[in-house]
């Protein structure tokens, strides 16, 4: 069995399925040689005249170009350049109607020929020596050669095939009716075609070059065979005339029996197909150096007076072409670019000739019948029988009408070569090819959009990947430094944390201080002093507790002999007073009358002040009251003695100090002293009458507490008035210190007055010594109490100095008024003579004893008064006001009742005076010495006790 090669060499031909035999109509144009056309008025050169991308413009508007000059620079994607068909000027570069059924405008160069038709410099060669395949491909490429059979595929792409080409098939069939361009070209330029075939064979090195020419072109066949005699690799075959044997796949089948698979290309079966016109252009490019600037175009049809093949410059408008050949349009004239089977009717004759234009058919209405009304498919299958691709044209048309593009592809729409055989045979006159072309265009558009979308997606993904990569790189850059110096950063962080921790306690302390200040501010300014007062209050409470215990012990020890002791004490005091009077009389004889007057004045002032103090002392402690009364009496007596001495001596001070006033002052002092001594008698009487010691004790405790409070308030209020500067607490403290000093002095004076009473007991020295010790203890106690009473005045600073000053002024005024009233009331008592001094003295002693007993009983109840001191300043102020009112009332009551007391006191004093008068001068001197010694001891102990208290 012969091999395929042997069969090919033997000249065997194969048949393809389908096909038709339409009228050839070739004789119209193949009777005359290829003609030439006059230069057109202008040439329109679309940048894209082939399959693939257009090139970039190399010329500008107004630029003069030469014939054969390249106008565009080819790029990638099957791009081909275009050249100037003739010399002339670029008059415009703009979109112009394209050689397409839609005549869609494409960017075109409008060249106005200058008529000289001047060639540019051409590089010619006589052989292919020195040219390798690449050089040949470049020459083909830069010559702008594309398939001139109708598809327009770039020739250099086919020539640069990566696949092995066994057979180079040269298409000289030209099966389309009316078209005779290849026939005439082969007749006239067979050698050039064979030379171009040899160029391609040198590039592709096929086993054979098979030239297929229909048997209806015997002249062309002979010319080709004659031209190819020198090359045994070129086999020129005459094939049967059958439409569409000129199809690429059909010709391959006919010449080689190979079938190109669906969707494949001839190279897939080792076959490369080239048109004879393309090979002529390759020969011109390689040997003559001429680019593709013109081609043979068949201008035919019954409306063409001179149908003929002509050399038409690319860019020549169809109008110029047909009119150059004697075009006579008819009614409903149609001008078809291409043949009647595969060509398309031009929407306008202003369409330029391009590289793929092989025929311009201008038939009349009889020559080529106008398509009738489309009818419904009758399923006659004539179309399928005529299809050379063995497709189902009726199904494709059905899917195309329904725009079922997937179905179209499934039914191999793209295997359709658009031969038109189906349409040609369809009895329903269905323009099947038109449906296929539209469907193909839509599918190509969709695929193009899909490709664009895929490319956009690829760019997006690439960009996304790039951004992610850059982000990752940035993160890595940030991470790397962190890893490179972790210890350093950690050290910095730890240091910062340590600083923060160190600052926190300070901040917290500051914050706590701020909070405390705010709390204090909210509570008031006085609360800020509370921490300081707490210590003093605690110390005071301790001292009071000690005093209370001492009093309890003392009260327990003295419970049985209290009346006797009181009587003895009264007697002792009386004696002490007497002794003091004698001592004072002795001292007063030695003193200056002026000092006596000053002492009288001090006594008066103290007597005035005692308007409050006696009540305080009498209510606070009966013993104190007794001591104070004794002191007052002693001072009063002294004051009374001083005027007498002054008057007797006739000193000058008598002139300055009125004796009457001194007497009055002495009487006031006595009255106050008596009042202080007898102040508790009504209470004692009430106690005796009521026979309820508890109530009396409670009342006495309340009275003492009020009296204490009143005394404290009075002292606090009086102190600022000394300096008249209530705003300065320091001055108030100084005033309080002065008051304490005065109180101490008063206590000392009392000791000095009472001490002689110890010596004034001639009957029993032991009792007198005991009485003196008791008196000293009382004096110390009085001093201590005075300190206790006065201390709060330092700490209990008035909240409002102005109010305190006003209150103090009022208190002083009231005290003065009370003193004055007392003076006015006492004056008449000066002349009052006691009826029985002894009885009055005994009664006074009994009254004092009762007062002492009531005071002792009240001491048990007194403790709460310490604790019940009002801490609230307002309450304290109210209590002070009440106390002052009660003190005033008590003072008034005392002023109204001194008559009896004065009598008794006078009696006692007079009685004592009679006793002291009975003492001899030697005894008086000894008593005075002992009294001085006791005073010194009492002072020393008082100072020691004071130092302990202060500590």
Positions that interact with ligand SF4 (CB under 6 A): 377-383, 386-389, 391, 393-394, 397, 416-422, 425-428, 430, 432-433
Kindly state the smallest distance separating residue 427's Cβ from ligand SF4, in Å. Answer: 6
- Shortest Å, Cβ 420 to ligand SF4: 5
Nearer to ligand SF4, 242 or 850 (CB): 242
Residue closer to ligand SF4, measured from CB, 383 or 710: 383
**Residue 150 or 834 having the CB closest to ligand SF4:** 150
Beta carbon nearer to ligand SF4, 150 or 593: 150
Asked if 927 and 583 count as a contact pair (C-beta separation under 8 A), the reply is yes
The least distance separating ligand SF4 from the CB of residue 96, rounded to whole angstroms, comes to 30
Residues 6+ apart with CB under 8 A from 270: 163, 164, 165, 166, 167, 258
In the chain, % helix, strand, coil (3-state, to 5) comes to 60, 10, 30
Given a contact cutoff of 8 angstroms between Cβ atoms, the answer to whether 714 and 609 are in contact is: no
Q: How far is it, in rounded angstroms, from Cα 261 to Cα 591?
A: 162
Rounded CA-CA distance 367/25 in Å is 10
Q: How far is the CB of 164 from ligand SF4 (least distance, A)?
A: 28
* Rounded distance between C-alpha atoms, residue 702 and residue 711, angstroms: 14
Residue 387 labelled as part of a binding site: yes
d(CA 106, CA 517): 93
Q: Which is nearer to ligand SF4, 316 or 428 (CB)?
A: 428
Token readout for 478 is: 């940030």
CB of 218 to ligand SF4, least distance (A): 27
- Smallest gap from residue 265 Cβ to ligand SF4 (A): 17
Residue with smaller CB distance to ligand SF4, 287 or 435:
435
Q: Please report the sign of the dihedral spanned by the C-alpha atoms of residue 475, residue 477, residue 483, residue 489.
A: negative
| Closer by beta carbon to ligand SF4, 263 or else 427 | 427
Question: Is residue 526 packed enough to be buried (19+ CB in 10 Å), middle (13-18) or exposed (0-12)?
Answer: middle
Number of helices (H), then strands (E), belonging to the chain: the values are 30, 16
Distance, in Å, from the CA atom of 599 to the CA atom of 635, rounded to the nearest integer, reads 8
Six-digit token string for 326: 């004697």
* Residue written as token pair 């991308």: 53
The backbone region for 30, taken as left when phi is positive above 0, alpha when psi lies in -120 to 50, beta otherwise, is alpha
Q: Is 359 annotated as a binding residue?
A: no
Does 175 count as an annotated binding residue?
A: no
Residue with tokens 């895929």: 454
Considering the complex, what minimum distance in angstroms separates the CB of residue 175 from ligand SF4? 12
CB of 852 closer than 8 Å to CB of 562: yes
- Nearer Cβ to ligand SF4, position 86 or 250? 250
Name the token pair of 612: 């409050």
255/426 with CB nearer ligand SF4: 426
User: What is the Cα–Cα distance from 220 to 194, expressed in whole angstroms?
Assistant: 12
Nearer to ligand SF4, 14 or 311 (CB): 14
State phi, psi for 148 to the nearest 5 degrees. Answer: -95, 5
Provide the minimum distance between the beta carbon of 373 and ligand SF4 in the complex, in angstroms, as a whole number: 13
Consult the annotation and say whether 120 binds a ligand: no
Ranges assigned E (strand) in 332-456: 336-337, 344-345, 359-361
| Surface-to-core class of residue 454, CB atoms within 10 Å of its CB (0-12 exposed, 13-18 middle, 19+ buried) | exposed
Cα–Cα distance measured from residue 733 to residue 747, given in angstroms and rounded to the nearest whole number: 21
Angstrom distance (rounded) from CA 255 to CA 273: 11
Query: Closest approach of Cβ 421 to ligand SF4, in Å?
Result: 4
Compute the residue count for the chain.
951
Q: Are 607 and 631 in contact (CB under 8 A)?
A: no
Please identify, using beta-carbon distances, which residue of 391 and 705 lies nearer to ligand SF4: 391
Sequence-separated contacts (24+) of 432-438 with Cβ below 8 Å: 432/383, 432/393, 432/394, 432/396, 432/397, 435/396, 435/397, 435/400, 435/401, 436/396, 436/397, 436/400, 437/101, 438/400
CA distance 909 to 158: 163
Question: What is the nearest approach in angstroms of ligand SF4 to the Cβ of residue 435?
Answer: 10
Least spacing, CB of residue 180 vs ligand SF4, in Å: 22
| Euclidean distance between CA atoms 865 and 777, whole angstroms | 23
Are 895 and 610 within 8 A, CB to CB?
no
Q: How far apart are CA 122 and CA 757, in angstroms?
A: 166
∠ CA(810), CA(815), CA(817), 5° rounding? 95
Helix (H, G, I), strand (E, B) or coil at 169: strand
Which residue, 339 or 614, is less far from ligand SF4 as judged by CB? 339
- What is the distance, to the nearest Å, from the Cα of residue 356 to the centroid of all Cα atoms in its chain? 72
Nearer to ligand SF4, 384 or 639 (CB): 384
State the DSSP string of 65-133.
E-BT-B-EE--SSS-B--B-SSSEEEEEEEEEE-SSTT--EEEEEEEEE-SS--B------SS-TT--H
Rounded least distance, CB 460 to ligand SF4, Å:
39
Q: Smaller CB distance to ligand SF4: residue 311 or 398?
A: 398
**Residue closer to ligand SF4, measured from CB, 417 or 894:** 417
Residues making up the binding site for [4Fe-4S] cluster: 377, 380, 383, 387, 416, 419, 422, 426
Residues making up the binding site: 377, 380, 383, 387, 416, 419, 422, 426
């Amino acid at each position: 069995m012969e091999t395929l090669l042997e069969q090919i060499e033997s000249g065997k031909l194969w048949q393809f399925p389908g096909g038709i035999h339409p009228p050839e109509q070739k004789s119209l144009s193949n009777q005359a040689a290829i003609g030439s056309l006059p230069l057109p008025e202008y040439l329109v050169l679309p940048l894209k005249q082939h399959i693939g991308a257009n090139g970039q413009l190399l010329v500008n508007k107004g630029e003069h170009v030469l014939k054969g000059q390249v106008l565009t620079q080819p790029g990638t994607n099957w791009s081909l350049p275009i050249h100037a068909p003739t010399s002339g000027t670029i008059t415009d570069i703009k979109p112009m109607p394209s050689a397409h059924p839609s005549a869609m405008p494409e960017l075109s160069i409008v060249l106005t020929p200058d008529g000289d038709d001047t060639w540019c410099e051409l590089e010619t060669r006589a052989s292919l020596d020195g040219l390798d395949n690449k050089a040949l491909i470049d020459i083909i490429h830069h010559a702008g050669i594309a398939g001139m059979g109708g598809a327009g595929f770039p020739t250099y792409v086919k020539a640069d095939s990566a696949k092995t080409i066994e057979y180079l098939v040269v298409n000289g069939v030209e099966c389309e009716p009316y078209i005779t361009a290849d026939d005439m070209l082969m007749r006239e330029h067979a050698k050039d075609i064979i030379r171009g075939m040899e160029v391609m064979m040198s590039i592709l090195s096929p086993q054979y070059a098979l030239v297929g020419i229909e048997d209806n072109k015997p002249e062309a066949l002979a010319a080709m065979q004659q031209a190819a005699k020198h090359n045994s690799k070129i086999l020129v075959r005459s094939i049967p005339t059958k439409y569409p044997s000129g199809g690429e796949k059909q010709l391959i089948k006919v010449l080689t029996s190979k079938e190109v698979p669906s969707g494949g290309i001839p190279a897939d079966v080792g076959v490369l197909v080239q048109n004879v016109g393309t090979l002529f252009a390759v020969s011109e490019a390689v040997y003559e150096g001429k680019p593709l600037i013109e081609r043979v175009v068949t201008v035919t049809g019954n409306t063409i007076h001179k149908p003929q093949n002509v050399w038409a410059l690319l860019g020549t408008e169809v109008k110029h072409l047909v009119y150059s050949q004697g075009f006579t349009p008819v009614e409903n004239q149609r001008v078809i670019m291409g043949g009647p089977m595969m060509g398309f009717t031009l929407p306008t004759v202003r369409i330029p000739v391009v590289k793929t234009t092989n025929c311009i058919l201008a038939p009349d209405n009889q020559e080529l019948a106008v398509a009738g009304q489309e009818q419904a498919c009758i399923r006659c299958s004539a179309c399928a029988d005529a299809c050379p691709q063995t497709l189902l044209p009726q199904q494709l048309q059905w899917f195309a009408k329904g725009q079922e593009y997937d179905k179209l592809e499934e039914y191999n729409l793209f295997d359709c070569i658009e031969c038109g055989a189906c349409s040609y045979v369809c009895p329903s006159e269905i323009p099947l090819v038109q449906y296929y072309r539209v469907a193909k265009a839509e599918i190509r558009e969709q695929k193009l959009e899909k490709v664009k979308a895929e490319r956009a997606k690829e760019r997006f993904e690439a960009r996304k990947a790039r951004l992610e990569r850059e982000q990752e790189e940035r993160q890595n850059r940030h991470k790397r430094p962190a890893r490179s110096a972790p210890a350093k950063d950690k050290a910095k962080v730890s240091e910062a944390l340590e600083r923060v921790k160190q600052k926190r306690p300070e901040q917290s302390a500051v914050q706590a201080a701020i909070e405390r200040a705010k709390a204090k501010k909210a509570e008031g300014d006085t609360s800020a002093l509370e921490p300081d007062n707490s210590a003093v209050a605690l110390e005071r409470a301790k001292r009071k507790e000690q005093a209370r215990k001492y009093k309890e012990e003392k009260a327990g020890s003295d419970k049985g002999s209290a009346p006797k002791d009181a009587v003895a004490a009264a007697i002792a005091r009386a004696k002490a007073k007497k002794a003091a009077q004698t001592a004072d009389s002795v001292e007063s004889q030695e003193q200056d009358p002026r000092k006596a007057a000053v002492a009288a004045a001090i006594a008066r002032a103290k007597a005035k002040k005692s308007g409050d103090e006696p009540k305080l002392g009498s209510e606070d402690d009966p013993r104190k009251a007794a001591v104070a009364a004794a002191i007052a009496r002693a001072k009063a007596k002294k004051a009374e003695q001083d005027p007498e001495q002054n008057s007797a001596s006739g000193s000058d001070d008598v002139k300055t100090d009125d004796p009457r006033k001194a007497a009055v002052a002495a009487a006031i002092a006595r009255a106050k002293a008596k009042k202080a001594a007898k102040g508790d008698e009504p209470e004692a009487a009430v106690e005796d009458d009521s026979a309820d010691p508890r109530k009396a004790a409670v009342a006495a405790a309340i009275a003492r507490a009020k009296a204490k409070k009143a005394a404290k308030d009075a002292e606090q209020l009086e102190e600022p008035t000394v300096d008249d500067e209530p705003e300065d607490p320091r001055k108030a403290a100084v005033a309080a210190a002065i008051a304490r000093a005065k109180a101490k002095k008063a206590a000392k004076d009392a000791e000095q007055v009472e001490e002689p009473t110890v010596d004034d007991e001639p009957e029993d020295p032991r009792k007198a010594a005991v009485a003196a010790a008791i008196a000293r203890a009382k004096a110390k106690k009085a001093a201590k109490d005075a300190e206790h009473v006065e201390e709060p005045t330092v700490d209990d600073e008035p909240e409002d100095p102005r109010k305190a000053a006003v209150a103090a002024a009022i208190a002083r005024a009231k005290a003065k008024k009370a003193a004055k009233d007392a003076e006015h009331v006492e004056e008449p008592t000066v002349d009052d003579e006691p009826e029985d001094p002894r009885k009055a003295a005994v009664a006074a002693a009994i009254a004092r004893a009762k007062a002492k007993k009531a005071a002792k009983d009240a001491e048990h109840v007194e403790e709460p008064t310490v604790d019940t001191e009002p801490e609230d300043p307002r309450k304290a102020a109210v209590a002070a006001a009440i106390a002052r009112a009660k003190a005033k009332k008590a003072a008034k009551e005392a002023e109204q009742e001194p008559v009896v007391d004065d009598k008794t006191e006078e009696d006692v004093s007079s009685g004592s005076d009679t006793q002291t008068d009975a003492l001899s001068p030697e005894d008086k001197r000894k008593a005075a010495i002992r009294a001085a010694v006791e005073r010194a001891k009492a002072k020393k102990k008082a100072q020691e006790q004071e130092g302990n208290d202060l500590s």
